[in-house]
Chains A and B, each alone.
Chain A
Amino acid sequence: MKQKTVIVYKTEFPPEETLFPEKLKKVNEILARTKMLD
C-alpha cells in the first residue's frame, strides 16, 4: 500500500495569541456595551 505524505502548513488563523492583550481586553469591554447594527 502506498503511503501518502501530507504537509500541513501552520497558518495561525484564527490566531491563538495576541501581542496586544490589554487592548483586546479593552475592546471586548467596549463591544460588550455597544449595541451593534447587525
Chain B
Amino acid sequence: MSRTPYPYYKENGSRYKFISSGRRAIEKVVEFTPTTLKNVYNLGFGDLLPNGEMDDTAKSNNGDIIKVFATVISILEDFTETHPSLKIVFWGSTLERTKIYNRIIKTYYQSFSKIFVVSGATDAKGRSEEVIYNPSDTCFYSVFFVKRI
C-alpha cells in the first residue's frame, strides 16, 4: 500500500498498537495468536474501547480507512519478517469487513504478491478449501492466508 502508515509500537512479540487519528483518536490493536493448526496464526484487529474491552466489529467511520489498513499491512510485514515460517489467516468479523478485505487484496495484490504468497478459502456448503489467490477470479473469499515468499 502506498499510503503512509501510522506509527505503531510493539507491546510484546505478538501484539501491536497504534492510534487512528481521523475525526477522533481511536486506539487500535493488532494481535497474532496461534490457531489449532501448526504454524498458522490468526490476525486479530480491533478498537480498544474506553472500558478496556476490544471491539472487532466496530464501524469507526474515522475517515482514515486506507491509512489504517496500510498500518495493519505494515504490522503484518513486521511480524512475518520476524516469523517467516508462519502462515497468517485473517477474515472480517462482519460480512462488510470481509468484503473490504476482498477489495483490498484485489487492489493491492501486485505489491502483496512481491513479498507474500496469498491464498484464500471460500465457504461452500459448509466445506472450505484453500486455493492460491487469483486476482482475476471473481469469487468471494471468506478467509485469506498470507505467508512470506
Contact = CB atoms under 8 A, between A and B. Distances in A.
Contact of A15 (B31, B56, B119): B31
Interface in A5-38: 10-15, 18-20, 23-24, 27-28, 30-37
Given A12-B14, A23-B93, A31 B31 contact: no
Binding site of B, secondary structure by majority: helix, strand, loop or mixed? Answer: strand
Q: Number of contact residues on B: which range applies?
A: 20 to 34
Nearest to B42: A27
A19 B46 contact: yes
Interface in B19-47: 29, 31-37, 40, 42, 44, 46
B12 A37 contact: no
A20 B38 CA distance: 19
Interface stretch (B70-78, B103-111, B123-131): B123-131
B29 A36 contact: no
B143 A14 contact: no
Contact of A20 (B31, B34, B121, B129): B31
